[in-house]
């Protein structure tokens, strides 16, 4: 099968393509369908709603967020808006003086199959850097350091990020599910 990823984010598509290729699963961008994004504190609810309206087999939607511990999970589902408004430096400023720099990325991937939505999640724990570092990847990659490492996702480069990321964990769960039902 070929999965159809309803997204406008080329980086997400590229990472998903490389993760799924290890399972022999292909995925392409589906841009003729509009991703309807409700506002919600729950990534699961956002993904479920986006797919439920128009559940066609093999459609995939993913929603992500960066959840900062000392900010009680902010920006979470509002990560894209926060990135566009206050940006990386604005987010780091909110952590000034805080000793707890813990944060995690969460990905929720939804798949339509037999007119049903299946959800797969992935989390990577880590912490926020003091300064943005590195130039690969996208979004919050320059400020996120995964647990067990000292490099940010943006300093690691794609291959290592793809072994550790929230996205790889969620898509690995999806791939495992597909291999099991086949």
Q: Binding residues for Na ion, per CB under 5 A?
A: 80
Residues 99-158, interacting with ligand ITT (CB under 6 A): 137-141, 153
| Binding partner selected for residue 139 from Na ion, ligand ITT, none, CB under the kind-specific 5 to 8 Å limit | ligand ITT
Q: How far is CA 58 from CA 25, 100, 108, in A?
A: 11, 41, 16
Nearer to Na ion, 60 or 156 (CB): 60
* CA dist., res. 138 & res. 79, Å (int): 13
Catalytic (active site) residue 63: yes
Q: In terms of CB distance, is 61 or 174 closer to Na ion?
A: 61
Rounded Cα–Cα distance for residues 124 and 10 (Å): 21
Minimum CB distance to ligand ITT smaller for 64 or for 155? 64
Spell out the SS3 assignment of 56-82. Answer: CCCEEEEEEEEEEHHHCCCEECCHHHH
Quick one: which of 48, 79, 162, 168 contacts ligand ITT (CB under 6 A)? 79
3-state secondary structure of 157: coil
Q: Which residues bind ligand ITT (CB under 6 A)?
A: 7-9, 12, 35, 62-65, 79-80, 83, 137-141, 153, 165, 167
């Amino acid at each position: 099968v070929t999965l159809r990823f309803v997204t406008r984010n080329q980086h997400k598509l590229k990472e998903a393509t490389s993760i799924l290729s290890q399972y022999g699963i292909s995925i392409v961008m589906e841009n003729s369908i509009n991703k309807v994004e409700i506002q919600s504190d729950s990534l699961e609810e956002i993904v479920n709603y986006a797919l439920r309206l128009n559940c066609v087999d093999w459609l995939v939607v993913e929603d992500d967020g960066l959840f900062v511990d000392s900010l009680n999970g902010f920006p979470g589902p509002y990560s894209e808006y926060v990135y566009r408004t206050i940006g990386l430096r604005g987010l780091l400023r909110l952590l000034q003086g805080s000793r707890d720099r813990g944060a995690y990325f969460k990905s929720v991937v939804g798949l339509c199959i037999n007119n049903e939505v299946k959800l797969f999640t992935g989390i990577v724990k880590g912490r926020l850097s003091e300064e943005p570092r590195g130039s690969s990847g996208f979004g919050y990659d320059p400020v996120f350091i995964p647990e067990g490492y000292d490099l940010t996702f943006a300093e690691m480069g794609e291959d290592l990020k793809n072994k550790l990321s929230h996205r790889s964990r969620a898509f690995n769960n999806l791939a495992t599910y597909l291999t099991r039902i086949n």
